């Protein structure tokens, strides 16, 4: 991965972390249910992306575009629904560990199946980052995470990992993202119509911000970056998201900065940097 990709990649990772914070705030601090949040998140994202696509001249999706977007739409829907429901029974920290650990495993598996070269530097950096993440998020004591919530978060991880792997072959990131949101929306609305789990004004604002800004724009930029990144590189990079999300919680929710967080952040960011930044070639 070239250094020119780092600034937009950092923006994307911050957007991903913001989604976690917004989802957490809505489910924990408002009268908003996971089905309602996911449906409004998808609807607002589809609206924003549809307007951006419509503003471009000469952009009309073909039948091939629609057929090619079915897989990403299913993967996106899987991620969004299971992500929201998993946080009903999971601690936020262990949920983030399961999600992004699962994403890394999914994308590494996809890279190996595709025959991607995996340099030792990337393996070592990924291991160091994952170790720091586990140190930060693994619950102290003998309290095991809820089984159902863990299974749902693993399903969300698989959905997001597959969605990211599919994005590496997209030639029009904005149109592909818009079609994925639009095709995933009806199933999400149907689930909301069945469950009717409620929403208040603050929860709606958080869902719209998550869908229309940090999801729609963040995912479109992510799809734009993916063709220039190896699958394993994309998997490693996303290990920074839980650290960024917890930092956001400290800033927005007045959570204390701990020595545990500082040590883990150094391990995660150092491991990701080791894995992603190419070594300097000595000048002779």
Rounded mean pLDDT, 13-40: 89
| SS3 annotation, 19-52 | HHHHHHHHHHHCCCCHHHHHHHHHHHHHHHHHHH
DSSP 90-139: S-HHHHHHHHHHHHHHHHHHHHHHTT----HHHHHHHHHHHHHHHHHHSP
Distances (CA, A) of 231 to 110, 218, 222, 226, 273: 7, 18, 12, 8, 16
Confidence of residue 92 (pLDDT cuts 50, 70, 90): low
> Is 54 a residue whose pLDDT tops 80?
yes
pLDDT digits (tens, 9 = 90+) for 170-189: 778 888 889 999 999 999 99
pLDDT at 283 over 50: no
Cβ 264 vs Cβ 135: under 8 Å? yes
Instruction: Indicate the domain borders of the chain.
Output: 3-276
Helices (H), 138-258: 147-167, 173-195, 201-209, 216-225, 231-237, 241-252
- pTM for the complete prediction? 0.80
* pLDDT of 22 over the 60 cut: yes
Token readout for 132 is 């720091």
Tokens describing residue 100: 């992004």
> pLDDT tens-digit profile of 132-179?
767 766 666 545 567 788 889 889 989 988 988 887 777 788 888 899
* Closest C-alpha to 100, from 194, 241, 5: 241
């Amino acid at each position: 991965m070239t250094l020119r990709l780092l600034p937009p990649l950092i923006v994307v990772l911050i957007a991903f972390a913001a989604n976690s914070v917004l989802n957490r705030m809505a489910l924990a601090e408002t009268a908003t249910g996971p089905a309602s949040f996911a449906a409004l998140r998808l609807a607002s994202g589809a609206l924003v992306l549809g307007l951006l696509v419509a503003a471009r001249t000469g952009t009309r999706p073909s039948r091939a575009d629609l057929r090619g977007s079915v897989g990403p739409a299913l993967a996106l829907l899987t991620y969004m629904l299971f992500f929201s429901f998993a946080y009903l029974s999971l601690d936020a920290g262990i949920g983030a560990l399961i999600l992004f650990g699962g994403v890394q495993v999914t994308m590494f598996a996809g890279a190996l199946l595709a025959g991607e070269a995996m340099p030792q530097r990337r393996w070592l950096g990924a291991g160091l980052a994952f170790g720091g993440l586990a140190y930060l998020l693994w619950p102290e004591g003998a309290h095991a995470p809820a089984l159902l919530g863990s299974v749902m978060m693993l399903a969300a991880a698989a959905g997001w990992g597959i969605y990211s792997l599919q994005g590496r072959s997209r030639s029009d990131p904005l149109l592909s993202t818009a079609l994925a949101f639009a095709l995933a929306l009806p199933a999400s609305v149907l689930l909301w119509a069945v469950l009717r789990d409620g929403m208040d004004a603050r929860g709606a604002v958080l869902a719209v911000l998550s869908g229309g800004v940090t999801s729609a724009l963040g995912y479109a930029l992510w799809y734009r970056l993916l063709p220039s990144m190896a699958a394993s590189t994309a998997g490693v990079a996303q290990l920074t998201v839980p650290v960024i999300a917890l930092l956001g919680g400290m800033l927005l929710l007045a959570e204390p900065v701990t020595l545990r967080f500082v040590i883990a952040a150094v391990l995660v960011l150092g491991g990701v940097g080791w894995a992603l930044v190419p070594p300097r070639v000595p000048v002779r």
